[in-house]
Amino acid sequence: MARVGVFICHCGTNIAGSVNIDEMVDAANKMPSVVYASDNKYTCSEPGQASIRQAIIDNRLNRVVIASCSPRMHENTFRRTVTSAGLNSYLLEMANIREQCSWVHSNNKEAATAKAIDLVRMAVAKATKDEPLFPKEVGLTKRALVIGGGIAGIQAALDIANAGHDVVLVEREPSIGGHMAQLDKTFPTLDCSACILTPKMVDIAQHPKITLRTYAEIDNVQGYIGNFHVQIRQKARKVDHSKCTGCGTCWQKCPEKISSEFDVGVGKRSAIYIPFAQAVPTKPVIDTEHCRYIKYLQFVDEGEEGKKPAECRICEKLCPVSAIDWEQQDQILTEDFGAIVVTTGFKPFDPQVYQEYGVGRIPDVITGIQLERLMNASGPTEGEVIRPSDGTHPKSVVFISCVGSRDDEKGRGYCSKICCMYTAKHTIMLKEHDPEVQSYVFYIDIRAVGKDYEEFIRRAQEEAGTIYLRGRVSKIHRKGAKLIVQGEDSLIGRPVEIEADLVVLATGMEPSEGVIELAQGLNLSHDSYNFLMEAHPKLRPVETHIDGVFLAGSCIGPRDIPECVAHGSAAAAKVAGLFSQEKLVIEPLTALVDPLKCVGCLACVQVCPFNAPEEQKARDGRTIAYINDALCKGCGLCVVACRPGAINLRGFANDQLLAEVVSLW
């Protein structure tokens, strides 16, 4: 027999100001199953909670209804209150008469009172059907997986490892380092990017708690917080890294030269390669698409006609430790993790759609990242800035900002955040390379929000003499060896034409290739641009809706280096917090399948966004659904989808919700 106690809160005048509390207490006293009703000025205060405890004991209450604020505010407070009086904490119901009543109906006390009484009536009806529930505990693997070896991933891996936990860092490229490794210098301090990044890369390689898996990808993720099972595909490198010493003979002697991804088309690499000199690991992989011997093997295998390609195998012949292994195949490694940090980063926007700038047609129209490689002392030109068309030194350089940013026409409405700053950096560095260079920047707005950023822009303007023109470029055309840049200076309201030797497009950021497949595998949501979504943009910036999966860096949206580092550390702190627990407590408000009613249609499997329902064989051999409590979020989708009504949500069972509705009649 339910013995319900109702506690009505004034919340100072927040509730009492627009709801008649005395009338509510009278009404509550007359409700079925209610054996006690009272009111309190501040129920959440210590005396308020004490009076609830006392009332539970004095009146032998076995259900408690508190009419006050939103459960988001104080449900946990009151759960503790009823528990301390010996009740199961799930025998508490809250009627939200503040946010959902007094605050929004402050102009009509009579109606607000009637509504508040109804809300209490519903809560009482539900409470009579409440069952005690007990949270579950599961164990956890204290080992973290970091996906992506850019600066955010490097930072996250180092911080988790330094907190004493094992970390596996997976990177799909042959080296860690990400885009930061491509940069020459970093704004606003102009310190050398490699000088600050490579020590961290070496730390990763040498840390006893970190296992580095480069040239590897995530194939499959199963499981839940504390207990993820991940399949990692180690791509075939065709080089046995346990033998290789990284001497470099092979990649120096390989005769096949192709466009280097790392140098974004302005440099070349061999078919057996490390992406850059400071790569970690400094051991090569063979690009099977371009290797001459592999092409030869394919040719022989397929019995094609025509000229047989050369057998080559120069790397194999020259390798002093016989590390070349043509038989090596992709390997699948299955490993267990307790937490996953996704740091898949970005790729530079492909400006091909900007045909008005002659992208892909005019060789001296390049992107910011290409200029970065040209300026880099370890780049393909050893730091000499030259025009791709004729190798001459440009003297007049036009920069166009917001290429692939803030441009709805091109499907990119967002600001990429870093371009204003890196463009200013480029103009300063160009001036340092060659004092005769005059740079022009076409901009929409200059966005320099960060410590010392605005000062840096001033430095570009005042010290490097960069001319900033507010307006967009409409067209670039060739005139002899020059490029004519037609644009608008919207501050003087006139079209302008600038004769340039080189045009640099400040291309924005896009999510990495393949991030959507990864997001689907992890059940993460993404925005319309395919950037991954954090659990809350302000208050939970590195968490996701999937417990145990965290995000860091520019996979969430455009970010600069300091932000990526901060986010990497933030995600690591969350992982360390998670790993500080010995057991994980799982909320019992989950869906439950009645195996006798389940017909095995598995509609629940299809609707569940969290992969909680699984197919299972019942003892009598029937197929039925089973819901994994650790994955279930209690959203109730499966309950609605279940045709035979076999699924019920604990704490929000069908009969409880029905009782709430019925109580209003």
Binding residues (CB under 8 A) for other proteins: these are: 354-356, 358, 361-362, 475-480
Q: Based on CB atoms, which residue is closest to other proteins, 227 or 507?
A: 507
Shortest distance (Å) from residue 370 CB to other proteins: 20
Of how many residues is the chain composed? Answer: 665
Q: Based on CB atoms, which residue is closest to other proteins, 276 or 354?
A: 354
Q: Based on CB atoms, which residue is closest to other proteins, 228 or 354?
A: 354
Which residues are within 8 A (CB) of 139 and not within 5 positions of it... i.e. 6 or more apart?
226, 227, 583, 584
Which residue, 142, 145, 348, is CA-closest to 261? Answer: 348
Q: Based on CB atoms, which residue is closest to other proteins, 78 or 357?
A: 357
Q: Is 536 exposed, middle or buried (0-12, 13-18, 19+ CB in 10 A)?
A: exposed
- Tell me the two tokens of residue 462: 């005042």
Integer angstrom CA distances of residue 498 from 386, 442, 509: 19, 11, 27
Q: How is residue 178 annotated by DSSP?
A: G
Shortest distance (Å) from residue 357 CB to other proteins: 8
Beta-bridge mates of residue 8: 39, 67
Q: Is 465 exposed, middle or buried (0-12, 13-18, 19+ CB in 10 A)?
A: middle
The Cα–Cα gap between 576 and 144 comes to: 9
Q: Based on CB atoms, which residue is closest to other proteins, 479 or 494?
A: 479
> Which amino acid appears at position 25 of this protein?
V
The Cα–Cα gap between 294 and 254 comes to: 13
Q: Going by DSSP bridges, is the β-strand pair 584-586/136-138 parallel, antiparallel, or unpaired? A: antiparallel
Q: Based on CB atoms, which residue is closest to other proteins, 114 or 398?
A: 398
Shortest distance (Å) from residue 216 CB to other proteins: 39
Shortest distance (Å) from residue 361 CB to other proteins: 6
Q: Based on CB atoms, which residue is closest to other proteins, 254 or 365?
A: 365
Given a contact cutoff of 8 angstroms between Cβ atoms, the answer to whether 123 and 67 are in contact is yes
Shortest distance (Å) from residue 473 CB to other proteins: 12
Shortest distance (Å) from residue 352 CB to other proteins: 10
The Cα–Cα gap between 42 and 136 comes to: 33
The Cα–Cα gap between 449 and 608 comes to: 41
Q: Is 582 exposed, middle or buried (0-12, 13-18, 19+ CB in 10 A)?
A: exposed
Q: Based on CB atoms, which residue is closest to other proteins, 64 or 402?
A: 402
Shortest distance (Å) from residue 483 CB to other proteins: 9
The Cα–Cα gap between 419 and 443 comes to: 10
Torsion, Cα of 265, 426, 344, 581 (10° steps): 150
Q: Based on CB atoms, which residue is closest to other proteins, 222 or 355?
A: 355
Shortest distance (Å) from residue 204 CB to other proteins: 44
Shortest distance (Å) from residue 356 CB to other proteins: 4
Q: Based on CB atoms, which residue is closest to other proteins, 361 or 622?
A: 361
Shortest distance (Å) from residue 353 CB to other proteins: 9
Q: Check the CA dihedral 353-354-355-359 and report its sign.
A: negative
Shortest distance (Å) from residue 488 CB to other proteins: 15
Q: Based on CB atoms, which residue is closest to other proteins, 354 or 550?
A: 354
